[in-house]
Structure 1
Amino acid sequence: MKKHYLLFFCCLLMAGSLFAQDASKLNLGVNKGSLQLASEDGNFKFGMGGRVYMDAAAYFDDKTDLGSGSEVRDIRLLMKADLWKKWNAKINIGFADGAVSLKDVWLMYKINKNSFVRAGHFLEPFGIEQTESSKTTKFMHAASTIEAFRPGRNLGFSYATWSKKIFWEAGLFGSDTNNKTEGDEGYGLTSRIAFAPVQTDGGLFHIGMSGIYRTANSTGFNDQGEENPKSIRYRSRAATHIEKRRFIDAKVANAESQCKLGFEMIAATGPISIQGEYISAKVNRKSNFEDYSAKGFYTQVGWLVKGGNYKYKMKSARLAKPGPGSVELLARYNQTDLNDSDALIMGGKQKDITVGGTWYVNHNILVKFHFTNVDLDENSLNGEENFNMIQTRLQFSF
């Protein structure tokens, strides 16, 4: 399967080159640090790019023997094209953890300048951090609440539209790219709406909510031809990736479907911003089992010490990436609770605080540095414990 992905990727690159040769003339340019070819009439644009994340982490005061070290967190190669001013396509291949995986692989049709339909493999529209590229997220690791409950990327299609103050996207999604198990895969209905009544040079305010209904995936059949019980799982790492273990983990057996509801807020005044999300999840189980519920939230604060004021992008309903040369100080508090005593599922509770900063060296390079304290309850992987870590990242893209 990995070879097929690479072959598919290379064929598309060759197809783009052949298309470029047929054009009467192509202009080579640079857009935010990335090379781009464009036809004179504007009907065709072609770009290639990539990114590399190199991380290091040191853990302290840990009861569990955590593995300090370094890693190439991810390598990405991507190709994107604009065709006939109405169509967009993107292919983004990841090489994290020594494995080839499809990230964004989609085709988009622009209905007008403020709406589009998209089909393929992409992030479901749920919340702020779930829908943001890892290239522009403020912290090295997603908040544990987001990691536990996010739907990630799946095959599907969606419709998105926005005006000066309102953003809305909704879609229908299947599962991931490979259906490896006999039986019906789950499907999901996902939607996000955001309202940003204040968008000025000196301040902004945004509120929104998201919802998901998703059926559980099949887990195959037993020797008698009966369908195996389905399950849904929520789990998260401890605000780091170099240490691979997930300290909170709830596997909900005999599941039929899940519903997730998220609330979000962004506010900024000048160079100060605050962002937060709250997510609740409920797993509907077979009639003789108690339904399972879990929840979590995070709040983060940013201060652009250098780089001007925060800006907002209505097209994606989130803060824009700070400009080249900016220096940003950050703090985040997260709490994720996977314990449900009524359902007799105690997946653990995690609280963590992160402080740090990011230097946006230029369009292509940035450096991150974080200090994090993690507090785990008695239902976590190795029981109650509290530990600290220092992490840093060198990130470059082109």
Structure 2
Amino acid sequence: MKLSKVTLAMAAILGTGAPSTIFALDLYVDKKTQQIFATPGPGRVHLGSFVKEDAEAKATGAGIAAGAGVATGAGVATSADVAAEQAEAVDVAALRKDIEMKAKMREARLVSDMASLEERVKESEKVHIEFHDGAPHFASKDGNFTFAVNGRAQVGSQYNFINEVAPPTGNNTPNEWNSGATLRRARLGVEGTFMKIWDYKFEYDFSRGNGSVTSGITDAFVRLNVTKPFSVKVGSFKEPFSLEEAASNRFLTFIERHMSVNSFVDNPNTYKTGIGANYAVPRFQFGVAFQTEPVGPWSSASTSVNNAGNQSRNNGSGDTSWEGIGRISGRPWMEDETKFLHVGISAGHTDVNTQYTAAGDIAATPSAQGGGGGGMAFFAFPGTNVDRTNMLNTGNLSIGNRNDPNARRIDSYDRFGAEGWLVHGPFSVQGEYLRTNINGLGYDNEHFTGYYGFASYFLTGESKAYHVRNGAANRIKPKQNFQWNGKGWGAWEVAAGYDYINLNSGVVRGGQADMVRFALNWYPHPNVKLQNNIIYTLNVDTSGSPIARTAGFNNAELAAWLTQLQFDF
């Protein structure tokens, strides 16, 4: 019987394990697989008994089998066959080593690829994107840098169903209000933080250009957050004055602010350039600022404009005006964010520059509403959002040649305000009193006053929200957003209020008026609001006004239905 090389190799290996004395081993081979076994079994054929001696192993030089090899019924492995089997075993070991090395290399490459993938994942996580209040917010993984886009659009309409005013005189246009629609505000801005302690904001209103690109700028500031409550900012930002002015126009109960807030704060442009400091915790807020003129002309009541009608000095021979202003507010009673009492006071002093020519006349010819060579005017419109014609108007408070004993010149004005706001679940009441004192040549204790008050109630159970840093109203979030299947109706709010302003004082005849307002507001989602207002004037007294348009509203009876659809992010 001829043995395979594997069989002989197996016999040789077994032979090497024999003791130094003579040792016989019976071997069996499987007829099908040709495998060698040391025990009998089914399908196995006895090869024979193999004997090994140490001396003979040394004689052969192989140390495996005896030279003669005594066997019963089988052949004996030769030294040549054993050497061949040993060479084959060396080849198998080398192959196994090569395979193991390649496996280790593949494993190393896999580990390297995993590390590279993890590094790429870490790189991708360095910028994190989230959506807050509907706006995309980008942030670095370490939190040092953030960036967000914000914006708002407010589309308004006005229908005047009572429009009884005096007819126009001379070449003047009609005095009655105009019905129509408008894009009340269209703002787009960016805001964010850098190195965690700094933040910034830039916002532009495309609806308030008034012929000047710069006048569309609202917020444009950089702020250092010294601590979580305390911050300092530089740039263009709102004056810290008035509860209603401190609230964003996105969160107002009525479509327009009340007459005194508009006249004393908003119309002269509440966004002014300067430096301010703010401290705010949930129960207390304090804001103070030193500011100058707005970035660009906003209205005819812009203070200290030069003879070009804008804020570029360019040899306008007039210094920039300035103001110091501040507000303190807080919640002396507070059970939680749905039950609290807010109170506050505001005060400010504003310097006004009136420019004269060498002859003593006011530089350029100021319009009846101010402007030209500087000065200041206050005016008011009764809460309309499309036709915002000045129903009340003081005219420019700087008039006449400076050498004329009857000339008047406003040098500064002082503002004061007191505010209160009670929230008790879905019910709330809010009110303010504001006063503006006029200082300058030809004026003696002239002052203007205004106040308002209103109540609101959420039919769906929501409460007014509080903005801690501003100390004012915040975004309303419905308990259930509106759904077409009727499972959610959004938030519904009703409100009613009274509004009064008086621009008559001493030698100034700007007029006085009062009115009532009613509101039905629907908040289908936190970022969408539909407002409906009814406004009705109770009394308008503009008798004695030197301005024909203002005099035409004397004893007017006016009523309008206003709507505004707002989307913001």
Q: Which residue is 2:498 aligned to?
A: 333
1:159 deviates by 0.6
Answer yes or no: is 1:276 the counterpart of 2:431: yes
Answer yes or no: is 1:95 the counterpart of 2:266: no
1:97 deviates by 5.1
Q: Which residue is 1:158 aligned to?
A: 276
Moved more, 176-185 or 359-368: 176-185
- The letter for the 1-side match of 2:284 is I
Q: Which residue is 1:74 aligned to?
A: 185
TM-score by length of 1: 0.89
Task: Determine if contact 1:230/1:256 at 8 Å carries over to the other structure.
Answer: no
Q: Which residue is 1:257 aligned to?
A: 412
- What are the superposed Cα offsets for residues 131-190 of structure 1, whole Å, 9 maximum, x if unpaired? 222122221111011111115110011111123422111010001114244311211000
Q: Which residue is 2:524 aligned to?
A: 361
Name the Cα RMSD after superposition: 2.0
1:360 deviates by 1.3
- What are the superposed Cα offsets for residues 255-311 of structure 1, whole Å, 9 maximum, x if unpaired? 11101100000111111001111001110121x443421100010111111143333
1:378 deviates by 3.7
Answer yes or no: is 1:41 the counterpart of 2:185: no
Task: Determine if contact 1:358/1:367 at 8 Å carries over to the other structure.
Answer: yes
Aligned residues: 373
Structure with the largest fraction of helix: 2
Provide the C-alpha distance between the structure 2 equivalents of 1:245 and 1:50, rounded to a whole number of angstroms: 27
Provide the C-alpha distance between the structure 2 equivalents of 1:69 and 1:396, rounded to a whole number of angstroms: 20
Task: Determine if contact 2:252/2:473 at 8 Å carries over to the other structure.
Answer: no
Say which SS state the counterpart of residue 384 (structure 1) adopts: coil
Comparing both chains, which one has the higher relative contact order based on Cα–Cα distances under 8 Å and sequence gaps of 6 or more?
A: 1
1:94 deviates by 0.4
Match of 1:167 among 266, 270, 285: 285
Moved more, 103-112 or 304-313: 304-313
Say which SS state the counterpart of residue 164 (structure 2) adopts: coil
Task: Determine if contact 2:247/2:473 at 8 Å carries over to the other structure.
Answer: no
- The letter for the 2-side match of 1:165 is R
Q: Are residues 240 and 293 of structure 1, via their aligned partners in 2, closer, same or farther at CA, if it must alter by over 3 Å?
A: same
Task: Determine if contact 2:160/2:179 at 8 Å carries over to the other structure.
Answer: yes
Structure with the largest fraction of strand: 1
- What are the superposed Cα offsets for residues 212-257 of structure 1, whole Å, 9 maximum, x if unpaired? 1011133x33144787686321111121131131001113221111
Answer yes or no: is 1:211 the counterpart of 2:347: yes
Q: Which residue is 1:387 aligned to?
A: 558
TM-score by length of 2: 0.63
Provide the C-alpha distance between the structure 2 equivalents of 1:132 and 1:164, rounded to a whole number of angstroms: 16
Task: Determine if contact 1:194/1:207 at 8 Å carries over to the other structure.
Answer: yes
**Counterparts of residues 1-398 of structure 1 (less than 5 Å):** 25-64=126-165, 65-96=176-207, 99=210, 100=213, 101-150=216-265, 152-178=270-296, 179-180=311-312, 181-201=316-336, 203-218=339-354, 220-224=355-359, 231-251=375-395, 252-253=397-398, 254-286=409-441, 288-324=442-478, 325-340=490-505, 343-374=506-537, 375-379=539-543, 380-382=550-552, 383-398=554-569
Say which SS state the counterpart of residue 135 (structure 1) adopts: helix
User: Structure 1: 5+ residue runs without aligned partners?
Assistant: 1-21
Task: Determine if contact 1:295/1:337 at 8 Å carries over to the other structure.
Answer: yes
Q: Are residues 23 and 111 of structure 1, via their aligned partners in 2, closer, same or farther at CA, if it must alter by over 3 Å?
A: farther
Provide the C-alpha distance between the structure 2 equivalents of 1:71 and 1:266, rounded to a whole number of angstroms: 31
1:392 deviates by 0.5
- The letter for the 1-side match of 2:295 is T
User: Structure 2: 5+ residue runs without aligned partners?
Assistant: 1-122, 166-175, 297-310, 364-372, 399-408, 479-489, 544-549
Say which SS state the counterpart of residue 146 (structure 1) adopts: helix
